[in-house]
Amino acid sequence: MIDLHFTPTPNGQKISIALEELELPYRLISYDIFEGEQHTAEFGRINPNHKLPAIVDHDPPFGGGPHAVFESAAILQYLAEKTGRLLPADPRQRSVAIQWLTWQAANLGPMGGQAAHFTRYAREEIPYAINRYTSELTRLLTVLERRLGEAAFLGGEEYSIADIAVWPGRYMAPEAPEYPNTMRWRAAIAQRPAVIRGRDADKAVPPKYAQRRAVLTAEEWSNLFGERMLGAVRL
C-alpha cells in the first residue's frame, strides 16, 4: 500500500495519475495548503520541504520498512522503477524521457509557478515580474510545442512519466490553438481512463484553487508565502 499525501493541484495530480496508470493501490491523504496543513512536524518527517505531493511506500522493492519520497519528479521515477513501467526500456529513449521529466521539474514547473504567483497571488501588481515570468513561460511552451511536433510523446513514441509530469498543468490551462501539437497531445492523453481517474482523485477541489485572481485572507497568505510558511522549516 502507498500513502499519497496530496493536494488537488497539477503536482498532486501527476502522482494520482501515475498510481492509476500503474494500478498500484493507494490511500489518498488530502491537505488544505491554504489552511497550512502541510506545515506540521509530522508531515516534515515525510517531506522536509513541506510541500505536496509526497508518498510513503509501505512495501518498497528494496525492503527495510516504509520509504518516503518527495518531489513529484522523484516520485514518478520511483514508481516507474518500482513497476518497470512508464519509462522506455531502451536506454537511449529512457535518457530522453528523463531529460523531459527534468525539464518540467527544473523549468516549466518553477517558471509557471512564478508566473502564476505574480499574476494571481501577488499583493501588488509588479509589471516587471509579470513580464519576466510570462515571457519565460511563453518560451518554454514554445519549446514544448516544437518537441511535440517532432514526436508523439515527450520521450519519443512511448507515453511515459515525462508526459504525466507535464500534462496536468497543460490540461488546467485554457485551450491554446496557437500550440496545435500540444493541444493534440493534451487531448489524446485526456482520454486515457487512468488519467481521468487520477485527475479526479479528489473531487472536493476547493474553489480557491480555480480562481483567476486569488483573494487570500491574511492567514492563508501567511501559510503560503509568509511567516507561517517560514516557521515550518525553521529549527
Ligand X SMILES: N[C@@H](CCC(=O)N[C@@H](CS)C(=O)NCC(=O)O)C(=O)O
What 3-state DSSP class applies to 59? coil
Q: Report in angstroms the alpha-carbon separations of 134 from 54, 61, 118.
A: 28, 42, 9
Q: In the chain, which ranges are continuous DSSP H helix?
A: 10-21, 41-46, 72-83, 91-103, 109-116, 127-150, 161-172, 180-190, 193-199, 218-225, 227-233
Residue number with CB closer to ligand X (11 or 160):
11
Nearer CB in complex with ligand X: 152/226: 226
- Least CB distance from residue 66 to ligand X, whole Å? 19
- Nearest distance from C-beta of residue 129 to ligand X, angstroms: 18
Shortest Cβ distance from residue 229 to ligand X (Å)? 5
- Whether residue 96 contacts residue 190, with contact meaning beta carbons closer than 8 Å, is answered with no
Nearer to ligand X, 9 or 134 (CB): 9
The residues of the shown chain that bind ligand X, judged by CB under 6 A, are 7, 9, 11, 33, 38, 51-53, 71-72, 105, 109, 224, 229
Of 78 and 156, the one with the shorter C-beta distance to ligand X is 78
DSSP 209: G
Shortest reach from residue 109's CB to ligand X, in Å: 6
Q: Which residue is associated with the grid cell 524521457?
A: 97
